[in-house]
A and B are shown apart, each in its own frame.
Chain A
Amino acid sequence: GAVVSQHPSWVICKSGTSVKIECRSLDFQATTMFWYRQFPKQSLMLMATSNEGSKATYEQGVEKDKFLINHASLTLSTLTVTSAHPEDSSFYICSATGLAGVVGNEQFFGPGTRLTVL
């Protein structure tokens, strides 16, 4: 199957700083990428959907100024957590789809990034 990578796999930062997480599709062109957040022993919650070259669409309750998403190319999307606070500590997961126009095209998931804000 298609491979999606995330970098870094884990990051620790101080409160008030910004952190950037990268999501890359390694062997296919990702027309759409999704960002999820997973709390311990909880389900994945969709944060936003991004299409290459377009502004991201955020889910209700997700602060777009807090979680900046850029999808500048067909293989790279970034999530920047601005002015991070301890409550932003979480596991962030991206997924990517390609083959635009194929109904029900599969989402391929990255391994996740563990963010800890001190």
Chain B
Amino acid sequence: AQSVTQPDIHITVSEGASLELRCNYSYGATPYLFWYVQSPGQGLQLLLKYFSGDTLVQGIKGFEAEFKRSQSSFNLRKPSVHWSDAAEYFCAVGKNSGGSNYKLTFGKGTLLTVNP
């Protein structure tokens, strides 16, 4: 069965500093990989996803992630964090569940705090 590990429960960075959120996955085949952000009162929003091709994926809000098969990792990065980036971030792996759909397995999330 697939699994996702986000080693950091809580990260605090200063506004303007760079950010890297770690994600490791366990999956037997080529994974579908995702990063979501969850803000209070709002649904999870997709930041970016990797299905195949270029291992460096660009997403919304200036985020990017790099798929490294040898390390089973899909770390999320942002060169300069804004106060509005404070939220909970979830990494997820998708397993095809038939047709065009997939089931998501989520990590436990990393809470990002941004100091002014």
Q: Does B102 contact A (CB under 8 A)?
A: yes
Report whether over half of chain B's contact residues are helix, strand or loop; otherwise say mixed: strand
B103 touches A49 (CB 8 A): yes
Closest 4 A/B residue pairs (Cβ):
A109-B43, A43-B106, A109-B44, A43-B108
Q: Kindly list chain A residues whose C-beta atoms are within 8 Å of the C-beta of B109.
A: 41-43
Q: Kindly list chain A residues whose C-beta atoms are within 8 Å of the C-beta of B84.
A: none
Q: Kindly list chain B residues whose C-beta atoms are within 8 Å of the C-beta of A34.
A: 103-104
Please, how many residues of chain B have a CB less than 8 angstroms from a CB on the other chain? 26
B interface residues, Cβ below 8 angstroms from A: 4, 9, 32, 36, 41-46, 49, 51, 90, 94, 97, 99-109
A contact residues, range: 20 to 34
Across the two chains, which residue of chain B brings its CB closest to A6?
A: B43
Q: Say which residue of B49, B100, B104 sits within 8 Å of A100 (CB atoms).
A: B100
Q: List 15 A-B contacts (CB under 8 A).
A: A4-B43, A34-B104, A41-B108, A42-B108, A43-B4, A43-B109, A49-B97, A99-B100, A103-B51, A104-B49, A104-B94, A107-B46, A109-B44, A111-B41, A112-B43
